[in-house]
């Protein structure tokens, strides 16, 4: 693999062209899941549990079936009862039986919103009538939501067959603790003994949702010959194909998934909810079925991320050298096992070069929707705790927070607690850029505070397919197997145009359906520009090799004597012959005579994805009388490897930072006493609005990952890791008090301010 990434050589990569799908998206023409139409489609809707935990005693669908215009009603009985099967997909573990039960409950409902039946009818109104006519008898059971309550003895047990993994001997009593996992290096006890200063704190978070603006939507058709078509918004149309095949017990090749544009996912659309149900309804009704979630369903029934408890203990000597870092983390998984506890454990201290680290975690089920990935799953939660604790450590040591991190910074060769040794990384460069930034030394006003925090995410590579096909007129189709969730079409075209040496505008971006391009893994783990980009780049390189061969044929010289320069074949030196350069278009014209169509499709299982590091500076102003927090200034520095399209890289950083700000200040799931979500809408689930924020300055540091032809590192997830601690540390600066629970909403800030004013009670 050739490294093309030297900046001075690049002509297209690093510029900011308009994205290929842009006009469709600013004119309303782009087709998202809810916009898709299959001729004859009818309406599908889901009946959902009103209880947080209950046994399904019986389901009587007869009255619903009897309504004229209702074409099908399904329950779990219409889906295969598949056995337990583990897989590692995207960014987390997946058990297909759990996924199936999550899509449609079988014997128990495990959260409010859990699907118990679904209908397909001629109209919306009829579908609503049908849902109302289904008679479900429940035996309501006690529920548990809070993670420590779910772990406690005597807690209502969700699964009779769940025994805590990671304990020896294997337990015989069912538990809500799905697994216990630990990573250790060195000797933390010795490390703490050697410490002059120890910070020991307990942090907690509430569950939050990815809150993409587009609700889940799909339209599916199961034709009489068993051929299935699904049009869906997703983060991976191959994932939809695989999961539907698995959950419905059919051949993968029988399903063709067409990628509709996606209105945000952030990890929350890396699995299926509606698609298997829509297919089952289509099979039963003989019609295509369209299903679109309401906003309320999105909140009540799709995976938010974990709420958690993180206890940290960090020790350092007076000079700021961290001698030991320890944490115990308890993460909610929702109704089925699979919280992001592993990444949470792995990422918390990954920014530091530490000899003694011990992180212990618990994956705990509770009566909430099954957790789904949310942008760097697990890491924002553990970094919230670790980076706040490190900030208090800096305070106690009388050290500048950036200097403390520099003193302990991970570098090439540093060993992580999970066993991987860092390769070429950019953490120190990021710290230096943050420290040198004018924001760090700008003056602060009254009631204002400044916070600093850093974060890490591994980024993954994985399976992707890309293709480049040269058309007879010299234009080029650049094919990606990955859906475009944030502008990746532009990056694919830019990389291909760079390699081919032609204009960006001569390339057409294409995202075909699953039957028309090779397998491509889910869009997650910040892998698309890396892995799919690698596949596209390799395909473009293969095309260049072919173009050189064709030119050699045309000139009747040896292929070794041909070079490719600025989009043209040129003889390699005077000895090769005095031929005029042959542009790509000229060679394309002669494709049939020189061997046939010119194109290449490459599948990769990309290795060598490089981790990313971010450092955020946050200035906050608090009104001490009301607890109202205003972000006054925000700077996010990140090592991005090589920014293919800098605007979209900046956009990822800004968007991730703002999600983290919302998580820090106002976002949380509020439950009532019955375990039902109290704020299932955008009115009371408060994501940041435009007037809440200043401009977010994104600073791109480029330490290229030489294992990618252009030096790319994944960028999408790192930016959500530092913000909560950056905000928490800013609040500490403004109010001189430490907040331990998220979100740090006004009532909590006001209460903390009042408590701090009270004279301390006598011990």
Partner 1 sequence: MSKIHVSTTVNGEAAEFLAEPQESLLDALRNTLNLTGSKEGCGSGDCGACSVIIDGRLVCSCLVLAVEAGGMAITTIEGIAEGEKLHPIQQKFLENAALQCGFCTPGFIVATKALLDVNPDPTETEIRYWLAGNLCRCTGYDKIVRAVQDAAAEMRGS
Partner 2 sequence: MPSLNYVAPTTVSDAVKILAAASGPTRVMSGGTDLLVQLRSGRLKPELIVDTKKIPGIIGISGSAAEGFTIGAATSGALLSEHAGLVAAYPGVVEATNLIGSTQIQGRASLAGNLCNASPAADSVPAVIVVGGTVTIAGPAGPRTAPVESIVTGPGRTSLAKGEFIVSFHLPALKAKTADAYLRFIPRTEMDIAVVGCGVSVTLDDSGVITAAKISLGAVAPTQVMVDASCIIGTKLDDAALAKLDAAARAVCNPIDDKRGTIEFRTKVAGVLARRTAAIAVARAQARA
Figure out which of the listed residues 343, 451, 627, 728 binds partner 2, where binding follows CB under 8 A: 627
Question: What's the chain's length in residues?
Answer: 763
Q: How far apart are CA 55 and CA 182, in angstroms?
A: 34
CB of 485 to partner 1, least distance (A): 6
Figure out which of the listed residues 190, 436, 751, 756 binds partner 2, where binding follows CB under 8 A: 751
CB of 15 to partner 1, least distance (A): 12
CB of 278 to partner 1, least distance (A): 18
Binding mask 95-134 for partner 2 (x = CB under 8 A): ------------------------------x---x-----
Which residues in this chain contact partner 1 in the complex, by CB under 8 A? Answer: 16, 18-19, 21-23, 25-32, 34-35, 125, 210-215, 261-266, 292, 294-295, 485-487, 645, 647-648, 650-652, 654-659, 681-683, 687-691, 693, 695-696
Task: Give the closest residue to 208 by CA, choosing from 292, 89, 331, 113.
Answer: 331
Task: Give the closest residue to 310 by CA, choosing from 353, 344, 358.
Answer: 344
Task: Give the closest residue to 145 by CA, choosing from 373, 369, 384.
Answer: 369
Under rule CB under 8 A, residue 758 binds partner 2:
no
Query: 696 with 619: CB under 8 angstroms?
Result: no
Of these partners, partner 1, partner 2, none, which one is at the site of residue 411 (CB under 5 to 8 Å by kind)?
none
- Name every residue whose Cβ is closer than 8 Å to that of residue 695 and which is 6 or more positions away in sequence: 634
Binding mask 281-320 for partner 2 (x = CB under 8 A): ---------------x------------------------
Of these partners, partner 1, partner 2, none, which one is at the site of residue 747 (CB under 5 to 8 Å by kind)?
partner 2
Figure out which of the listed residues 83, 446, 691, 755 binds partner 2, where binding follows CB under 8 A: 691
- How many residues of this chain interact with partner 2, rule: CB under 8 A? 26
Number of alpha carbons in the 13 Å side-chain half-sphere of residue 554: 25
Under rule CB under 8 A, residue 9 binds partner 2:
no
Under rule CB under 8 A, residue 659 binds partner 2:
no
Provide the CA 471 distance to its chain's centre, in angstroms. 35
Under rule CB under 8 A, residue 63 binds partner 2:
no
Cα radius of gyration (the chain) = 27
CB of 293 to partner 1, least distance (A): 10
**Strand partners for 552:** none
Q: How far apart are CA 222 and CA 307, in angstroms?
A: 39
Q: In what order do the strands lie in the sheet with 357-365?
A: 177-185, 357-365, 322-334, 308-316, 197-205
* Residue recorded with tokens 């509430």: 206
Q: Of the two residues 421 and 691, which places its CB atom closer to partner 1 in the complex?
A: 691
Query: 703 with 685: CB under 8 angstroms?
Result: no
Of these partners, partner 2, partner 1, none, which one is at the site of residue 628 (CB under 5 to 8 Å by kind)?
partner 2
At residue 617, φ and ψ (nearest 5 deg) are -115, 125
Six-digit token string for 301: 């029934």
Q: In degrees to the nearest 10, what's the CA dihedral of 8, 9, 15, 20?
A: -170
Of these partners, partner 2, partner 1, none, which one is at the site of residue 574 (CB under 5 to 8 Å by kind)?
none
Task: Give the closest residue to 337 by CA, choosing from 90, 170, 101, 112.
Answer: 101
Under rule CB under 8 A, residue 762 binds partner 2:
no
Of these partners, partner 1, partner 2, none, which one is at the site of residue 261 (CB under 5 to 8 Å by kind)?
partner 1
Q: Of the two residues 314 and 485, which places its CB atom closer to partner 1 in the complex?
A: 485
Of these partners, partner 1, partner 2, none, which one is at the site of residue 210 (CB under 5 to 8 Å by kind)?
partner 1
Of these partners, partner 1, partner 2, none, which one is at the site of residue 696 (CB under 5 to 8 Å by kind)?
partner 1
Under rule CB under 8 A, residue 692 binds partner 2:
yes
Q: How far apart are CA 131 and CA 65, in angstroms?
A: 10
In this structure, which long-range contacts are made by residues 557-566, counting pairs with CB atoms below 8 Å and at least 24 apart in sequence? Answer: 564/501, 565/501, 566/501
Figure out which of the listed residues 678, 694, 736, 756 binds partner 2, where binding follows CB under 8 A: 678
Under rule CB under 8 A, residue 747 binds partner 2:
yes
Sign of the alpha-carbon torsion through 654, 655, 661, 664: negative
Under rule CB under 8 A, residue 164 binds partner 2:
no
Ranges of H-type helices in 49-95: 62-66
Of these partners, partner 1, partner 2, none, which one is at the site of residue 626 (CB under 5 to 8 Å by kind)?
partner 2
Q: Of the two residues 148 and 296, which places its CB atom closer to partner 1 in the complex?
A: 296
CB of 14 to partner 1, least distance (A): 14
Q: How far apart are CA 180 and CA 235, in angstroms?
A: 30
Cβ-count burial of 30 within 10 angstroms (0-12 exposed, 13-18 middle, 19+ buried)?
middle
CB of 696 to partner 1, least distance (A): 5
- Name every residue whose Cβ is closer than 8 Å to that of residue 398 and which is 6 or more positions away in sequence: none
Figure out which of the listed residues 213, 625, 757, 761 binds partner 2, where binding follows CB under 8 A: 625
Q: Which residues bind partner 2 (CB under 8 A)?
A: 125, 129, 296, 625-628, 630, 665-666, 670, 678-679, 683-684, 686, 688-689, 691-692, 745-747, 750-751, 754
């Amino acid at each position: 693999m050739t490294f093309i990434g030297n900046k001075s050589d690049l002509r297209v990569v690093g510029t900011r062209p308009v994205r290929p799908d842009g006009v469709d998206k600013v004119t309303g023409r782009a087709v998202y899941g809810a916009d898709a139409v299959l001729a004859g489609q009818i309406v599908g809707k889901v009946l959902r549990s009103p209880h947080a935990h209950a046994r399904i005693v019986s389901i009587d669908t007869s009255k619903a079936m009897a309504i004229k215009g209702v074409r099908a009603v399904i329950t779990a009985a219409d889906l295969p009862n598949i056995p337990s099967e583990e897989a590692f997909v995207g960014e987390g573990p997946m058990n297909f039986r759990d996924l199936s039960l999550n899509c449609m409950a079988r014997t128990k409902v495990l959260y409010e919103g859990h699907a118990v039946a679904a209908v397909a009818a001629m109209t919306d109104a009829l579908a609503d009538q049908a849902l109302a006519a289904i008679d479900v008898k429940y035996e309501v059971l006690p529920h548990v939501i809070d993670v420590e309550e779910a772990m406690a003895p005597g807690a209502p047990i969700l699964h009779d067959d769940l025994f805590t993994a990671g304990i020896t001997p294997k337990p015989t009593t069912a538990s809500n603790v799905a697994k216990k996992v630990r990573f250790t290096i060195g000797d933390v006890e010795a490390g703490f003994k050697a410490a002059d200063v120890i910070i020991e704190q307990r942090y907690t978070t509430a569950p939050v949702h990815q809150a993409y603006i587009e609700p889940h939507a799909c339209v599916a058709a199961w034709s009489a010959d068993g051929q299935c078509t699904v049009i869906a918004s997703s983060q991976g149309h191959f994932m939809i194909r695989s999961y539907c095949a698995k959950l419905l017990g059919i051949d993968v090749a029988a399903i063709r998934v067409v990628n509709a544009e996606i209105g945000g996912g952030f990890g929350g659309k890396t699995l299926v909810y509606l698609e298997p149900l829509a297919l089952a309804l289509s099979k039963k009704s003989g019609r295509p079925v369209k299903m679109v979630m309401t906003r309320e369903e999105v909140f009540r029934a799709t995976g938010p991320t974990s709420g958690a408890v993180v206890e940290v203990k960090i020790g350092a000597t007076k000079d700021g050298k961290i001698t030991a870092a320890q944490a115990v983390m308890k993460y909610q998984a929702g109704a089925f096992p699979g919280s992001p506890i592993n990444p949470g454990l792995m990422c918390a201290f990954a920014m530091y070069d530490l000899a003694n680290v011990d992180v212990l975690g618990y994956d705990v089920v509770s009566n909430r929707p099954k957790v789904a990935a949310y942008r760097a799953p697990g890491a924002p939660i553990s970094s919230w705790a670790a980076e706040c604790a490190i900030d208090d450590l800096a305070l106690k040591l009388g050290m500048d927070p950036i200097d403390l991190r520099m003193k302990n910074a991970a570098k090439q060769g540093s060993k992580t607690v999970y066993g991987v040794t860092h390769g070429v990384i950019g953490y120190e460069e990021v710290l230096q850029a943050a420290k040198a930034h004018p924001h760090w030394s700008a003056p602060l006003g009254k009631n204002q505070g400044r916070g600093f925090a850093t974060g890490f995410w591994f980024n993954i590579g994985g399976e992707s397919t890309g293709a480049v096909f040269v058309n007879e007129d010299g234009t080029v189709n650049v094919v990606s197997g990955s859906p475009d969730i944030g502008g990746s079409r532009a990056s694919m075209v830019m990389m291909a145009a760079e390699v081919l040496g032609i204009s960006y505008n001569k390339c057409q971006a294409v995202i075909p359906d699953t039957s028309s391009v090779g397998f491509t893994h889910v869009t997650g783990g910040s892998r698309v520009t890396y892995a799919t980009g690698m596949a596209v780049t390799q395909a473009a390189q293969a095309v260049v090799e072919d173009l050189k061969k064709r030119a050699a044929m045309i000139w009747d010289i040896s292929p070794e004597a041909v070079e490719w320069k600025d989009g043209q074949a040129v003889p390699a030196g005077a000895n090769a012959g005095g031929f005029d350069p042959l542009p790509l278009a000229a060679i394309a014209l002669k494709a049939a005579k020189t061997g046939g169509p010119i194109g290449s499709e490459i599948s990769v299982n990309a290795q060598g994805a490089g981790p990313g590091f971010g450092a955020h500076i946050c200035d906050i102003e608090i009104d001490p009388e009301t607890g109202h927090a205003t972000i006054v200034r925000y700077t996010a520095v990140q090592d991005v490897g090589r920014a293919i399209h800098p605007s979209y890289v900046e956009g990822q950083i800004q968007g991730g930072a703002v999600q983290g700000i919302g998580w820090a200040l106002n976002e949380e799931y509020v439950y009532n006493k019955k375990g039902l979500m109290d704020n299932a809408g955008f009115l009371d689930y408060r994501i940041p609005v435009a007037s809440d924020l200043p401009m977010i300055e994104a600073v791109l540091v480029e330490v290229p990952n030489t294992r990618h032809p252009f030096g790319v590192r994944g960028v999408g997830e790192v930016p959500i890791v530092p913000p909560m601690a950056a905000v928490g540390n800013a609040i500490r600066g403004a109010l001189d008090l430490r907040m331990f629970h998220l979100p740090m909403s006004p009532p909590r800030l006001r209460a903390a301010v009042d408590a701090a004013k009270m004279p301390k009670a006598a011990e």
